[in-house]
Amino acid sequence: MTKLENDRFLRALLKQPVDRTPIWMMRQAGRYLPEYRESRAKAGDFLSLCKNADFACEVTMQPLERFPLDAAILFSDILTIPDAMGLGLYFETGEGPKFKRTVRSQQDFDQLIIPKVEDDLGYVMKAISTIRHELNGKVPLIGFSGSPWTLATYMIEGGSSKDFRHSKAMLYDTPELMHQLLDRLADVVIEYLNAQIAAGAQAVQIFDSWGGALSHRAYQEFSLKYMSKIVAGLNRQAEGRTVPVILFSKGGGQWLQSMASVGADALGLDWTTSLRDARALVGDRVALQGNMDPSVLYAKPERIREEVACILEEYGRGSGHVFNLGHGIHQFVDPDHAKAFIDAVVELSPHYHLDD
């Protein structure tokens, strides 16, 4: 077991004292980096990049070689699970992910493959062990999965959607079928994340990217209920320490109190919710992660620094904050602007931890 040189990310998730606010970025290994684009060209396509452990490790490490980040995140995709369930994931240039088959009826559901995670998704675990070896204790590695609701929307719609027409029709017309699908997905996610933890993931995040598309009652019944089931089923100890769990519902700021009650260690926030208000709502129950608008990174470095200062002030003094963007970094961001963002957090945040 390699000793971690830098564990402030894990400590902050558990609300333990840290010397400064830790930082990582959602989608930190991505198209805004020229070296990533070169690796993707060598791999041939996005899925080949994900499914080859050496390529996945290479791109996971790229942002860490540029920036003083406090965590690495596994390079993969949330749609690996529906792909392993037999839906035939592929990517259209300029259009994002697509599936050859959808789940819109009981018959479609009955035909789903129940994946053997260690076999059908074994390439993910191989990537994790490869990345852990390459990290050699430098920073922790984050594993992840999509939430059942978010995965279900892609499986039902056949790709991304603006109105979730088929998903919401199923939710309201045949809720029993939607519950069957969500329950099946929750079971697979539990097995998948536990396999990631066994392979070496030191924290895990559940991405509920489309939770904010739901009504209040529907969110509780069709999204949070199944994330709660996942959290309860995860192995929370590995290598002699706690494996923290982060829930991130984009657009979910109005449900923070409910989210804080499911047993996760931290909640991710998008940029529409004030960190000050969020901290007042959840108290000491969970840590908070976020939440700068990714579009701020299009601004000049001095303006980026001002925004970082405002967000640090919003959270205030003490531990329990992991700095991040409110969603993934955009592909057209200048890497120098990302560096200005990260450097600002590193330089300005120690002031808020002097009494820890």
The catalytic residue positions are 27, 31, 40, 77, 154
Amino acid at 297: L
Of 118, 119, 101, which Cα lies nearest the Cα of 110?
Answer: 101
Provide φ and ψ at 103, rounded to 5°. -120, 100
Q: Which residues are annotated as a binding site?
A: 27-31, 77, 154, 209, 327
**Alpha helix segments (H runs only) across 136-174:** 148-157, 165-173
Helix (H) or strand (E) holding 69: none
Q: How many angstroms separate the CA atoms of 230 and 214, rounded?
A: 19
β-pairing verdict for 203-208 and 89-92: unpaired
Show the tokens assigned to 112. Answer: 């789903």
Provide φ and ψ at 239, rounded to 5°. 55, 30
Provide φ and ψ at 23, rounded to 5°. -140, 140
Exposed, middle or buried, 138 (CB in 10 Å: 0-12/13-18/19+)?
Answer: middle
Residue 191 — left, alpha, or beta (φ > 0 → left; ψ -120 to 50 → alpha)? alpha
Show the tokens assigned to 273. Answer: 């919710």
Three-state secondary-structure class, residue 299:
coil
Q: Which residues are annotated as a binding site for substrate?
A: 27-31, 77, 154, 209, 327
Q: Give the residues across from 245 on adjacent strands.
A: 204
Show the tokens assigned to 122. Answer: 């074994």
